[in-house]
Structure 1
Amino acid sequence: MAAADELAFHEFEEASDLLAETPDAATTSGSNQLTPQGHVAVAVDSGGSYGAEEEVEESDRTALLQEEKQQPGFWTFGYYQSFFDVDTSQVLDRIRGSLLPRPGHNFVRHHLRNRPDLYGPFWICATLAFVLAVTGNLTLVLAQRRDPSIHYSPQFHKVTVAGVTIYCYVWLVPLALWAFLRWRKGVRERMGPYTFLETVCVYGYSLFVFIPTVVLWLIPVPWLQWLFGGLALALSAASLVFTLWPVVREDTRLVAAVLLSTVVLLHALLAVGCKTWPSGSGCQMCPRRETTV
Structure 2
Amino acid sequence: MTTSLTPGPNSDPAPLRPGRKLGPITITAGSAHRAWLEPTRERYLASGRTLSDLSLSVPLAKSKLSELLRGLGHYPRWEVIHRLAEELRIPGWPLHRLWKQAALDAGKTRDWVDRSTEGTVTIARFGPPLEHDALRLMAAEGYRRYAAAFLPDDARDAAVEDAFAILWLSFDNALASPDTRRYAWNVLRATVKAKADHRDHRPVLEKAAFDTVALREQTSPEGEMMQLAESMELFAAISRLPDTQLDVMVLRRLCGFTTEKVSDLLGIPLAAVRSDERHAERFLEDTIETIELPPATGGTTS
Q: TM-score range by the shorter chain?
A: under 0.3
Which is greater in Rg? Answer: 1
RCO comparison, higher one (Cα < 8 Å, 6+):
1
TM-score normalized with structure 2 length: 0.26
TM-score normalized with structure 1 length: 0.27
